[in-house]
Amino acid sequence: MHPINSAVQALVPMMEECGIAESPVLLIPDYDIPRCAYESGVPIQIIFGGRSAVFVADEIIKATTKASFMANAPLKKPSQRAAAAGIMNAVTGFLCTVRKLHACRQEDHAPCRTELIKRILNNRIYCCGAMPDVRKLADHALVNQPEDADLIFITGDGLTADDARILSDLPQEKLLYLGPSTAGTAHLLHCEHFCPFGRGNLQTSED
């Protein structure tokens, strides 16, 4: 099963128990939202219950829907998976189980890279996603097959791709989800998430 679908299956009972499955959710392209240094694409702001989260997608997504749309949806297209992942970010933020809902500030990019280099050191790295900045940092530590890696880095574009299904067959301890786009999915799948300087809800003064 695709990890997005697995994460949705984990979230739906929580939403139903809390009575929020039918609550409205807005997805709005917003190019003014800061982007993670490891992501490229269209920043989509997702607003749910007063919480604001982001998912950087490969294409423009604009919609008003309900969180319950994910419950029985096959989510076969990357854009549908991106919408679902973004909604999971906002909902888990609303439930206060995820705090890293938005990218860090530009001045935090350098110290973030320093922290990531520490994770790369003495490990073989496979990248699930484009992440050119990460690939440059990893350099000779990169491997071509996930089974050869000690750590598998996953960004939002890698997470929404068809071949992300392979992640479901890999040991959880090898997976490291990067950036705010992957926060909700990582949490729901009980995987490690790396976003040391990520921020909270941009609709309030909370950082």
User: Does position 207 have pLDDT exceeding 70, yes or no?
Assistant: no
User: Does position 98 have pLDDT exceeding 90, yes or no?
Assistant: yes
User: Does position 206 have pLDDT exceeding 70, yes or no?
Assistant: no
In terms of Cα–Cα distance, which of 196, 160, 83 is closest to 91?
Answer: 83
User: Does position 135 have pLDDT exceeding 60, yes or no?
Assistant: yes
Identity of residue 136: K
* Rounded-to-integer distance, Cα 111 and Cα 92, Å: 26
What are the tens digits of pLDDT across the range 1-38? 999 999 999 999 999 999 999 999 999 999 999 999 99
Give pLDDT, residue 205: 37
β-strand 63-66 against 125-128: which pairing, if any?
unpaired
């484009």: which residue's tokens? 130
In percent, the amount of the chain with pLDDT more than 90 equals 93
What are the tens digits of pLDDT across the range 44-84? 999 999 999 999 999 999 999 999 989 889 999 999 999 99
Give pLDDT, residue 204: 40
* Rounded-to-integer distance, Cα 11 and Cα 171, Å: 21
Q: What is the mean pLDDT of residues 173-193?
A: 98
Give pLDDT, residue 93: 96
Q: What is the mean pLDDT of residues 167-181?
A: 97
Q: What is the mean pLDDT of residues 39-48?
A: 95
In this prediction, residue 202 has a pLDDT band, given cuts at 50, 70 and 90, of: low
Give pLDDT, residue 72: 85
**Tokens describing residue 198:** 């990520």
Cβ atoms of 127 and 143 within 8 Å: the answer is no
